[in-house]
Amino acid sequence: MDATEANIEVTAIPLADIEPNPDQPRKFFDEAKLEELAAQFRSVGQLQPIVVRPAADEGRFQIVMGERRWRAMHLVEGATTIEAKIVDSVDDEKAFVMGISENIGRADMTLMEEAQAYADLVGFDYKAERIAEMFGKTVDYVKWRMDLLNLTTDIAELVSEGRIKADFAWYLSKLSPANQKVAVTRYMKGDFKTETDASTFAQALRMKENQEGFFSEKELSDKEKESKAKERKQAKGTVDQVERAGALLDELAKLTPSELADLFEGEVGKRLEAVERVRKAAAEAVKKLRKAKAMSEAKQLTVRPELEVEPEEDSEGPTEAELAEAETEAPAEDELEAAA
């Protein structure tokens, strides 16, 4: 609202005379959250009025801002009216923008609702740069959200329900419909240990679609085959040595800090730096091996467009510890939030 609208008198309007805006960007209202707000109304009353505008039918009003409060008031026993401000100079576009402004950032606004809201603004000829400025986001954030509208209807529903997280959803949105179903079917069955594994697999499918960075399909000469076999043997030997080093580190980790201080007296810092170098190298190797695993699986995959995306009854998603471990390159949910 502008300064003049902010000074409009608050009026009690019958709940029955108010209707929601059909273009309201938020479609999902958490019943538990509505009951919490209703409990607040019962305890301390309505602290903030809603905003309405005259509807097409005389004597009726349409909600501009505050549908959540209007719905919650219906849960308050004996409530027949709600406090509201009536604004007359609000057209459909302004009403829509005001509704989005109220809802962007709310925890119960789904990813798909936010994506659709931005896309609807584009329909009003708003550019991504202007949308980003309006809502305190970055341009990339707005574009990433709108990319989610490329998801198939059934997968978009899973995203709306919170069963697929933002970063994986974004990688899915870059895939063909058939490959979206391939990745989501595996995800819902619990085939991936972490969110990172899921996103990496989706990236690999995208690379397969574009034939970017995948394995060479050319026929190798006998000399090239011999060289490749030697490289594979050397790589396997390297992994064997890593496993032995890992066992040694396991033994080291069993010692207490005081024992380590005693054993490495005068050289603790030096030994710490050595192990830290190993840790960093291992982390980088893990990241690349995850991608290699995803690429290998994607290459061998036969796409079946008829695959269902419904989860099995006993499937389990990633644990909280696994989610905390997950690291993605771009654009992870924490990066989206940081960009906001």
List 298's β-bridge partners, or say none. Answer: none
Return the axis-axis angle of helices 111-123 and 92-103, rounded to nearest 10°.
150
Pick the residue with more confidence: 225 or 71?
A: 71
Give me the pLDDT at residue 289, please: 78
pLDDT exceeds cutoff 50 at 240:
yes
Give me the pLDDT at residue 213, please: 53
Query: In angstroms, what CA-CA distances link 95 with 54, 178, 280?
Result: 12, 38, 52
The rounded distance, in Å, linking the Cα atoms of 111 and 163 is 11
**Residue in 336, 322, 253, 321 with CA at minimum distance from that of residue 290:** 322
> What average pLDDT does range 204-225 have in this prediction?
72
> Rounded to an integer, what is the distance from CA 90 to the centroid of its chain?
33
List 244's β-bridge partners, or say none. Answer: none
The rounded distance, in Å, linking the Cα atoms of 80 and 73 is 8
Q: Is 27 exposed, middle or buried (0-12, 13-18, 19+ CB in 10 A)?
A: exposed
* Spatial strand order in the sheet of 18-19: 10-14, 81-86, 50-54, 61-65, 18-19
pLDDT-based confidence at 215, cuts 50/70/90?
A: low
The rounded distance, in Å, linking the Cα atoms of 292 and 155 is 26
pLDDT-based confidence at 339, cuts 50/70/90?
A: very low
Lowest mean per-residue pLDDT among 99-103, 107-111, 290-294, 336-340: 336-340
pTM: 0.53
